Amino acid sequence: MARVTLVGDMTTRNRTRARELAAESLAQGDPTGWFETLYQEAERGETAVPWADLRPNPNLLSFWEQDPLPTEGRTALTVGCGLGDDAEQLAAWGFETTAFDVAPSAVRAAKARFPASKVNYQVADVLSAPEEWRGKFDFVFEAYTLQALPVPVRALAMARVAAFVKPGGVLLLIARGREEDEPEGDLPWPLTRTEIESLDQFHLRVLSIEDFVDDEDEPVRRFCALYQKPRAN
């Protein structure tokens, strides 16, 4: 089983190495290449993956408790699946689930953690995902991937994520939030409400946007947004 190191104190996550790797990768014009380096270092026990909780996203669970969706005969996609916990949860709910990550080491670790999994794990970059995924999925889940991409490429990533949704399907997006006049800060780069609402330009209709403080580990402002792609007339 692939080993992935976690931060010892889960209340204060150490993102120093991730930020260093992201800065180096961005300087080379590669906004996503640093993820693989981080996961490789974590496999060797040299650093930590700060978002690797080894459990499903609590906000996904909370959403599902309040508004469960039909799953029989439905497809789901997990964007930036990491070590696979969210994808496994979607599969457990009954979705035919595909999950992808840009880091081969993350996908390898997910498969090792869940050797009997029904999830179709794939290596792919959200910025250049397979064309056959366009309009394929009834439920698309994106948590914390967009906020790990710099603003210059984020709009392209949003367009790609929106394109995964099947007509009549939905997208659930969870991300850190900030005010328009607040600085972008360091990785992760929080999204503004304008960015959250801007997905309507990609043929999605905003169903709800929750703006809240998530204090599970440390107080963090988040958006939890639900969108639907209208069916063709």
User: Structure pTM?
Assistant: 0.93
Bridge partners (DSSP) listed for residue 208: 226
Task: Report which secondary-structure segment, H or E, holds 41.
Answer: helix 34-43
pLDDT above 70 (res 6): no
Q: Which domains does the chain have, with CATH numbers?
A: 58-228 (3.40.50.150)
Could you report the per-residue pLDDT of 154-208, keeping only the tens digit for each? 999 999 999 999 999 999 999 999 999 999 888 999 999 999 999 999 999 999 9
Model pLDDT, residue 216:
67
Task: pLDDT band for 99, please (50, 70, 90 cuts).
Answer: very high
Q: Given the DSSP bridges, would you call strands 165-176 and 96-101 parallel, antiparallel or unpaired? A: unpaired
Give the DSSP letter of residue 177.
B
